[in-house]
Structure 1
Amino acid sequence: MSFNNLDQLYRQVIMDHYKNPRNKGELEGNDLKINMNNPTCGDTIQLQLKVDDGKISDAKFIGEGCSISLASASMMTQSVKGLEVDQAMKLSGIFSDMMQGKEYDEEEFDLGDIEALQGVSKFPARIKCATLSWKAMEKGFKEQGEA
Structure 2
Amino acid sequence: MASSDLQGMYQELILDHSRTPHGFGLRDAVPSQSHQLNPTCGDEITLQVHTAADGTVEAIAWEGHGCAISQASASLFAELVEGLPVADVEHRIAVFREAMRSRGRIAPDPELLGDAAALGGVSKYVARVKCAMLGWVAAEDALRKLP
With over 3 angstroms needed to count, the CA separation of the structure-2 counterparts of 1:8 and 1:78, relative to structure 1, is: same
| Alpha-carbon offset, residue 140 of structure 1 | 1.6
Alpha-carbon separation, structure 1, partners of 2:44 and 2:110 = 32
**Whole-Å separation in 2 of the counterparts to 1:76 and 1:104:** 17
Contact 1:97 1:104 in 2 (8 A): no
How many angstroms apart in 1 are the aligned matches of 2:120 and 2:108?
14
Matched residue, 2:40: 40
RMSD: 1.7
Displaced runs of 4 or more, over 4 A: none
**Number of the residue aligned with 2:67:** 66
The separation in 1 between residues aligned to 2:51 and 2:68, in whole angstroms, is 27
- Aligned positions, number: 144
Give identity over the alignment, percent.
Answer: 37
**Pairs within 5 Å for 1:62-101:** 62-101=63-102
Residues 1:19 and 2:22 aligned together: no
CA drift of 1:95 comes to: 0.6
User: Does the CA contact (< 8 Å) of 1:37 and 1:45 recur in 2?
Assistant: yes
Structure 1: 5+ residue runs without aligned partners? Answer: none
8 Å contact from structure 1 (residues 94, 104) kept in 2:
no
Asked if residue 106 in structure 1 is aligned to residue 103 in structure 2, the reply is: no
Match in the other structure for 1:127? 129
Given the two structures, how large is their TM-score scaled by the length of structure 2?
A: 0.91
- Distance change >3 Å, CA 16–CA 104, structure 1 → 2: closer
Instruction: Spell out, residue by residue over 1:80-115, the C-alpha distance to the aligned partner (whole angstroms, 9 max, x if none).
Output: 111111100000011111112354783862x22101
Partner of 2:31: 31
Residues 35-82 of structure 1, C-alpha deviations (whole Å, 9 max, x = no match)? 110001000000011112321101111011000000000000111111
8 A Cα contact 2:107 2:120, kept in partner: no
